[in-house]
């Protein structure tokens, strides 16, 4: 292989252009990731606080199935936020307390 100075310089210039394109692309990826991270932080800041209590309704919405604490891991798909007073009222009207999170104990209502 004939290795002349001009061809070596041309190869180095080519390598430089490739690396510049890679650097531009990497900087674009970094900017995109920074934007996504900023959007995630804004979303977390705007997220409403988790409800303190949940009341789970049945399919007909008239039937109340259970009362849950807000951090319950098994509230069901039809659980809606409730105030402390609503949770106490539901428990006093014989709505069962969740057996996993025990909201009746947390509310001080024990049979």
Q: What is the pLDDT of residues 35-93, one digit of tens each?
A: 999 999 999 999 998 899 999 998 887 788 999 998 898 888 899 999 999 999 999 98
Cα–Cα distances in angstroms (integers) from residue 102 to residues 20, 80, 105, in the given order: 61, 17, 6
Q: Which single residue is written with the structure tokens 């106490």?
A: 88
DSSP category for residue 71 = T
Cα dihedral: 50, 54, 56, 60 (round 10):
-90
Residue linked to tokens 């209502």: 109
pLDDT of 5 above 60: yes
pLDDT tens-place string over residues 6-46: 799 999 999 999 999 999 999 999 999 999 999 999 999 99
Distance CA 39, CA 49 (A): 18
Break the chain into its structural domains and give their ranges. Answer: 1-47, 53-107
Three-state SS at 70: coil
Residue ranges of alpha helices (H) inside 1-111 are: 5-46, 84-92, 103-107
The maximal CA–CA distance of the chain, rounded, in angstroms, is: 95
Q: Which two tokens stand for residue 22?
A: 């890679």
């Amino acid at each position: 292989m004939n290795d002349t100075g001009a061809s070596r310089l041309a190869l180095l210039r080519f390598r430089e252009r490739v690396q510049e394109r890679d650097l531009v692309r990497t900087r674009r990826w970094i900017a995109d990731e920074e934007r996504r991270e900023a959007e995630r932080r804004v979303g977390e800041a705007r997220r409403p606080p988790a409800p303190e209590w949940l009341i789970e309704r049945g399919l007909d919405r008239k039937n109340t199935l259970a009362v849950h604490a807000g951090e319950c891991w098994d509230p069901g798909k039809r659980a809606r936020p409730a105030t402390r007073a609503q949770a106490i009222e539901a428990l006093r009207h014989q709505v069962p307390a969740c057996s996993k999170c025990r909201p009746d104990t947390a509310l001080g209502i024990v049979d």
